[in-house]
Structure 1
Amino acid sequence: MSSEAACVNSNDSLPTSTGAGATPPRRFAALADRFGATASFLCAVHCALLPFVIAILPALGLGFLADHAIERGFVVFACTLATTMLVLGFRRHGSGKALALLFPGVALLLAGVLVDFERATTLHAALVTCGGTLVALAHIVNLRLSHRHDENCRH
């Protein structure tokens, strides 16, 4: 028996249909959490490095990465994905640990995009970097909480 087959997810007994109020299939939920964690981490790296590389982005053809509309759109997408997946995760595992990371992360992200980027570049970068990191960690915690091990689990 493979180690993956030996492990049991805590939502095995929950419905996997896509009807109203149903829990999404666990593979989709895990994939969405992994995607959200990766995207949030990349966002945090992007926001941390942007003040240092903003001058060379146009030369590399990447000037669009410095556009505030792109950033705001990405923050809204990341917050929506994270909130959806972590609320569904909470319904599966019942632990508020991931939500405890999510809510301050979303607040920091939203505060960061509201800060005047031109006047407070460092504050903007710090807020969105910390917020993106917290949202990424929330996705990772949600993944860990959604995966329940049993005595046959080998990983």
Structure 2
Amino acid sequence: MKSSRITFTLDKLGITASTACAVHCALLPFLLTLLPLWGLDFLANPAVEITMIGISLCLGIWSLSRSYRNHHHKILPVILLTAGFIFIGFGHFSGIRFLEPVLIPLGGFTIALAHFINLKFTRSCPHQHN
């Protein structure tokens, strides 16, 4: 039972971090000029973006690997997590500027979806694995 609670907590943190990352990346281009007026210009720093991506990556790998091994053994959340990070990576590093505001939020929401589905699979698992 303790393992299930940890998984639920990790998935909830993962959903929150991934959604925050997606919202941050989707809204930042529109709010970039207003951030200094609000004292939030630090949000435009690339280190903030890389940190948010890193937190999402760590939470995703930790949470989904625990659930896959200990609970449901379903690969769909792992595929979605991987696809989400591919979207984010391609959006950040492809050099195609017009794709960045589309792919990065899409990646963040895909990662949040991976956590959501993982949470549903873990809750529906009829028995506890160790």
The answer, yes or no, to whether TM exceeds 0.5 is yes
| Runs of 4+ with deviation above 4 angstroms | none
Select the residue among 104, 115, 120 that pairs with 1:139: 115
Shift of 1:111: 2.1
Q: Which amino acid aligns with 1:39?
A: A
Greater gyration radius = 1
Task: Tell me the equivalent position of 1:87.
Answer: 65
TM-superposed deviation, 1:136: 0.2
Matches within 5 A, 1:1-155: 12=1, 25-91=3-69, 92-116=71-95, 120=97, 122-148=98-124
**Structure 1: segments with no counterpart, 5+ residues:** 1-11, 17-24, 151-155
Q: Measure, in 2, the Cα distance between the counterparts of 1:114 and 1:73.
A: 16
Contact 2:17 2:55 in 1 (8 A): no
How much does 1:115 deviate? Answer: 4.2
Residues 38, 136 of structure 1: 8 Å contact kept: yes
Task: Tell me the secondary structure at the aligned position of residue 43 of structure 1.
Answer: helix
Deviates more, 1:140-149 or 1:127-136: 140-149
- Counterpart CA distance in 1 for 2:102 and 2:116 is 21
- 1:72, 1:113 within 8 Å by CA — same for their partners in 2? no
- The CA deviation at 1:114 is 2.0
Q: Which amino acid aligns with 1:29?
A: T
With the length of structure 2 as denominator, give the TM-score of the two structures.
0.87
Partner secondary structure for residue 78 of structure 2: helix
> Helix, strand or coil: the match of 2:99?
helix
Counterpart of 1:147 in 2: which secondary structure? helix
Q: Give ranges in structure 2 of 5+ residues lacking alignment.
A: none
Inter-partner Cα distance in structure 2 for 1:140 and 1:149: 14
Distance in 2, matches of 1:111 and 1:69, equals 17
Report the Cα distance in structure 2 between the residues aligned to 1:69 and 1:38, rounded to whole angstroms. Answer: 19
How many residues were matched structurally? 125
Higher helix share: 2
Alignment RMSD, CA only? 1.8
Shift in Å, 1:34: 0.5
